[in-house]
Amino acid sequence: MNRNAKINTLLLLIVAALAVLPLALGLGDDKEEPFAGADAQAESAITEIKPDYKPWFSPLYEPPSGEVESALFALQAALGAGVLAYYFGLRRGRRQGAERVRAQDDAEGARPETEEV
């Protein structure tokens, strides 16, 4: 196993641990919504501090349920990941194509040229 494969395996294990450990340790079991988003946590903290607070604006679209909201967020994340994967794949493909052209040019330059009369 080369060095890059070891690093990738280690990073994958760390990400898996970050995803599984909060669930395995039962973090957030005492809360009604244990893994609420940062927006919901900020809203509850603000209403605890100042109950009469009125937001400056309201959302343009309010999903009918938390499941729909989660699905839309997952769709947004998937689209973003797809765009990034396309971009990096395109860059790599262009780089590999340029390297092939360079290698062909070098190979052609090394061949003895013959003149046809």
User: SS3 string of the chain?
Assistant: CCHHHHHHHHHHHHHHHHHHHHHHCCCCCCCCCCCCCHHHHHHHHHHHHCCCCCCCCCCCCCCCCHHHHHHHHHHHHHHHHHHHHHHHHHHHHHHHHHHHHHHHHHHHHHCCCCCCC
Q: Which amino acid type is present at position 94? A: R
Q: What is the pTM of this model?
A: 0.51
Question: By residue range, what is the domain housing residue 8?
Answer: 1-58
- Are 36 and 73 within one domain? no
Terminal Cα-to-Cα distance of the chain (whole angstroms): 56
**Which residues of the chain have a pLDDT value below 70?**
28-36, 110-117
What's the pLDDT at 33? Answer: 66
Asked if residue 90 and residue 48 are part of one domain, the reply reads no
Residues 3 and 35 occupy one common structural domain: yes
pLDDT of residue 93: 95
* 14 shares a domain with 49: yes
Q: In terms of domains, do 77 and 49 share one? A: no
Give the pLDDT confidence of 69-86 residue by residue, as tens digits. 889 999 999 999 999 999
User: Is the residue at 105 inside a domain?
Assistant: yes
Residues 53 and 68 in one domain: no
How many residues comprise the chain? 117
pLDDT score for 89: 95
pLDDT value for 113: 57
pLDDT tens figures, 101-111: 999 988 887 65
> Number of folded domains in the chain?
2
State the pLDDT at residue 10.
96
